[in-house]
Amino acid sequence: MMRRKLAAMALTVTAATSGVVGLTSSPAMATPTNCSWARYTANSIVAICNGGSGNFRARITCHNSGPGGILVSAVGSWKTVASRSPSYAYCPKAGDTYEYGGINIQ
């Protein structure tokens, strides 16, 4: 009876310890660096990241050309830093105009 209790306790401690080790040994998060963006046309932006690792995309906010002039947002396609390719984001509709831009990273 005592051996069963000790075996069960040892199994519980091992499982708990393994869980903690599993939680603390995750890989570091990838982070793009040296990123910049610029207005590309009247209704688009271009973004690029030249360092680090991971993914990024251009993000734009535009004045909607419809009634009320509300702000609308759009994003470009995700790019990897390693691709050395820019991401472009365009206002959602013809006639919408650029208000501001930025970059999403992951």
Q: Tens digits of per-residue pLDDT, 20-56?
A: 333 343 455 789 999 999 999 999 999 999 999 999 9
> Can you give the pLDDT at residue 28?
59
pLDDT at 58: 98
CB-side neighbour CA atoms (13 Å) of 89: 28
State the sign of the Cα–Cα–Cα–Cα dihedral 87, 90, 92, 94. negative
Please count the structural domains in the chain. Answer: 1
Structural domain span for residue 83: 32-105
Structure tokens that stand for 30 in this block: 């990838």
DSSP 83: G
Sheet containing 32-41: order of strands = 32-41, 44-52, 87-90
In a domain, residue 49? The reply is: yes
Domain annotation covers residue 57? yes
Percent over 90 (pLDDT), the chain: 63
